[in-house]
Amino acid sequence: MEVGIAVEVGIAVEVGIALEVGIPLEVGIPVSGARRRVVADDADPQAAGVRPRHARQVRFTPFGAAAQQRLATSHALIVGVGALGSHVADTLARAGVGRLTLVDRDVVEESNLQRQILFDEADARAGRPKAEAAAEALRAIDASLHIDALVAHFDLRTFERLPARPDLIVDGTDNFATRYLLNDLAISSGTPWIHGAVIGAEGRAMVVLPGETACLRCIMPEAPPPGALDTCDTAGVLAPAVAQVAAVQSLEALKLLGGLRDQLVRGLVVIDAWRASTALFLRDAKPRADCVACGARSFPALTEDPADVVALCGRDAVQVRPRTAGDVDLAGLAARLGDAVTGVELRRGMLRFALPDGSARITLFADGRALVFGSDDVDRARAVYDRYVGLGGR
């Protein structure tokens, strides 16, 4: 039995599938008016210095061995290793990107497991920092990878302290403040970045090439006011939508890091996974002269004072940052807290405890940053922080 399917999404895709066992699949996909040819089965990618695990992607002619070799020496920074970030990190690690830097401020919880693919129940039970848990999972996939895991809130100081400057920044964040920071860092430093976002079953992705394409501020000069847009709290989020947006981000990352800039999709890709639709808006949009970043070369996110208390998207939790810089003596604080709290757990770089009435759980990091679980009330979170972390002094 043979099935022929024609799908029209900008280009015609014709698929003929022979369903009898033993009969090979034949798939012809016209791309840009030319049929792509797969490399012959007797070709030897290893002769070009390609590792066996990457042989199948090298056989795809538009990619090839030269792009694979460039991947091996490239460096991607992924900010946020939750839903989108975990998918992208997994794909880039398996594809052979030589160095990955993962930055995330959060810890794993059970509610993450529905869509954040690098974590498991053991990570959730332990409340492991996402960056560390993700790095461990990726090293199990490919022990040769160079992975830097930073458990930190991403800000300008974090970027400046990176062990090496990246060739690409990938957006795995869940808030506009950090996205504008990524945009301003990228435009000011000339570093490409790939924006991504998902809510419900809808999402978007966009490659930003400084000086060549429109940036985030070009298409959205200011963040929408609070409450103007749905969030994962109000609209939820479906894993297949995450996977589709992350697939676009990942593929564009492979093109860029592989040196295939002329193959990049330039514009805003908008996906409705529920209706199986994809559209490209702002095709080939250029930097705007009236853009504060691209035109005026002014970068507000690099000079604004970051908020020290932020509610986390989709979480009954608030991040609290210390008002002054400095490291906390976690062991000393744990001893001083004594029976004022319950469930004290001291681990490398992290202290966890709960309030006696069960109304809040606190995860405190060595840099003084804390996650306060149990409420999204930022004032209450700051009060809890000041009361209990303040016991340890500075």
Per-residue DSSP letters for 239-259? HHHHHHHHHHHHHHHHHHHTT
Distance CA 69, CA 58 (A): 10
Could you tell me if 218 and 188 lie in one domain? yes
Could you tell me if 31 and 139 lie in one domain? no
Given 270, 302, 334, the domain boundary residue is 302
pTM over 0.75: yes
In a domain, 20, yes or no: yes
CATH number at residue 328: 3.30.310.10
In a domain, 97, yes or no: yes
pLDDT of residue 13: 33
- Give mean pLDDT in consecutive 10-residue pieces for the chain, a chain of 394 residues: 34 34 40 44 60 94 96 98 98 98 94 96 95 98 96 91 95 92 97 97 97 97 75 83 98 98 98 97 97 97 81 81 78 88 90 91 90 87 82 34
pLDDT of residue 172: 97
CB 174 within 8 A of CB 314: yes
| Domain ranges, residue 29 | 2-56
CA atoms within a 13 Å half-sphere pointing along the CA-CB vector of 86: 24
pLDDT of residue 3: 35
In a domain, 172, yes or no: yes
Report the domain count for the chain: 3
CATH number at residue 92: 3.40.50.720
What single DSSP character describes residue 76?
Answer: E
Could you tell me if 266 and 355 lie in one domain? no
In a domain, 68, yes or no: no
Helix H or strand E segment including 235: helix 232-235
pLDDT of residue 94: 98
Could you tell me if 161 and 127 lie in one domain? yes
- End-to-end CA distance of the chain: give it in Å, rounded: 74
Could you tell me if 226 and 294 lie in one domain? yes
Could you tell me if 145 and 279 lie in one domain? yes
- Angle 83-95/239-257 helices, nearest 10 degrees? 40
In a domain, 370, yes or no: yes
pLDDT of residue 226: 59
304 token code pair? 């604004």
In a domain, 61, yes or no: no
Could you tell me if 288 and 340 lie in one domain? no
Could you tell me if 280 and 337 lie in one domain? no
Given 260, 282, 302, the domain boundary residue is 302
In a domain, 42, yes or no: yes
Could you tell me if 212 and 281 lie in one domain? yes
Could you tell me if 94 and 239 lie in one domain? yes
Could you tell me if 49 and 82 lie in one domain? no
Could you tell me if 79 and 130 lie in one domain? yes
pLDDT of residue 74: 98
In a domain, 246, yes or no: yes
Given 286, 302, 318, the domain boundary residue is 302
pLDDT of residue 384: 86
Rg (CA), the chain: 23
